Amino acid sequence: MSGYRHAIVIGASSGIGHALAERLAKSGCRVAAIARRKDLLGALAEKYPDLVFVFEHDVADTETVPAVFQEAAKQLGGLDLVIYTAGVMPEVGAMEFCFEKDRAMVEVNLLGAIAWLNQAAIRFQNTRHGTIVGIGSVAGDRGRCGQPVYNATKAALATYLEALRNRLARRGVRVVTIKPGPVQTEMTARLHLRGAMSAEAAARLILIKSRRTGEHYLKFGHWLAFGIIRNIPSAIFRRLRV
Ligand SMILES: NC(=O)c1ccc[n+]([C@@H]2O[C@H](COP(=O)([O-])OP(=O)(O)OC[C@H]3O[C@@H](n4cnc5c(N)ncnc54)[C@H](OP(=O)(O)O)[C@@H]3O)[C@@H](O)[C@H]2O)c1
């Protein structure tokens, strides 16, 4: 049992978000599943007909977020969990600087998150309960050569979530930042990651960790390794390949 009864999952059509939505529905939670690919969301709704509600939505359309949020909460009949997991990480060449790709990452990974989670914050500060979960990444812990803007969006997301947590703690609202390491999903399929976790395993751990406000890595090894990596002086970090 997840313990949640009404949840919105933004980015529910594939990967970690799909696994989260399915796990929640399996536990009897009513889920508003939100993403652009309606067919994939529809397949989930067919599997859990009375529990999964489909909303076709592009998070880059930030002006429509308040209305979609209200409608989702209405159809669910309540709300105690909002998970923002929508994200993009396009392939970026070693010395490529492409503003269009960068803009897409900022729009989906950061601006969409702020648009959605501000709505969750407004609702939960009034109801004085609820859990907000943002899916960050270990990639946000340092600025690396490979993905400057992906790293930056995840760092900014973590700082935004920390501030929400500090604001909302006194209203009894949990704000949880999850920093996964490698997970096998569409996003990472081209990278042929070794030792990556399955999306289902990640979803299981995320729901467990969502019970405690704060910032969480999914593995103890990541917590330890990134505790060290975060503290490596820049002049040394520049020369390392981590
Ligand atoms: N996989 C990893 O190794 C890893 C590690 C650390 C963190 N993460 C983070 O985990 C989250 C989930 O990623 P994933 O690995 O599960 O990737 P994924 O399978 O590619 O899933 C990405 C999800 O984001 C949604 N999305 C993307 N653009 C959107 C848009 N404009 N509007 C609405 N929804 C949009 C996609 O839905 P539609 O395309 O249907 O819209 C999809 O549901 C991301 O935030 C990612 O940065 C992943």
194 band by pLDDT with thresholds 50, 70 and 90: confident
Q: Summarize the confidence of residues 108-113 as an average pLDDT.
A: 98
Contact 46, 23 (CB under 8 A): no
Does the structure show a pLDDT above 90 at 195? no
The structure tokens listed for 185 are 């999903």
2 band by pLDDT with thresholds 50, 70 and 90: confident
Instruction: Dump pLDDT digits (tens) for 138-166.
Output: 999 999 999 999 999 999 999 999 999 99
Query: What is the residue type of 217?
Result: Y
Instruction: Dump pLDDT digits (tens) for 65-83.
Output: 999 999 999 999 999 999 9
Q: Is 150 a catalytic residue?
A: yes
Share of the chain above pLDDT 70, in %: 100
Distance CA 56, CA 68 (A): 9
Question: Using a 6 Å cutoff on CB, does residue 134 contact ligand 1?
Answer: no
Instruction: Dump pLDDT digits (tens) for 20-50.
Output: 999 999 999 999 999 999 999 999 999 999 9
Question: Using a 6 Å cutoff on CB, does residue 37 contact ligand 1?
Answer: yes
Does the structure show a pLDDT above 90 at 192? no
Could you tell me which of 229, 223, 228 has the C-alpha nearest to residue 242? 229
Classify residue 124 as exposed, middle or buried by CB count within 10 Å of its CB (0-12, 13-18, 19+). buried
Cut 0.85: pTM above it: yes
Catalytically annotated residue among 4, 48, 84, 150: 150
Report helix, strand or coil for 146: coil
Q: Summarize the confidence of residues 96-124 as an average pLDDT.
A: 98
Could you tell me which of 11, 176, 8 has the C-alpha nearest to residue 88? 11
Could you tell me which of 114, 123, 130 has the C-alpha nearest to residue 81? 130
CA of 105 to the centre of ligand 1 (A): 11
- The predicted structure's pLDDT at residue 241: 74
Sign of the dihedral defined by the CA atoms of residues 47, 50, 51, 52, in that order: positive
- The predicted structure's pLDDT at residue 87: 98
**What's the CATH code, domain 6-237?**
3.40.50.720
Contact 77, 6 (CB under 8 A): yes
Mean of all residue pLDDT scores within the chain: 97
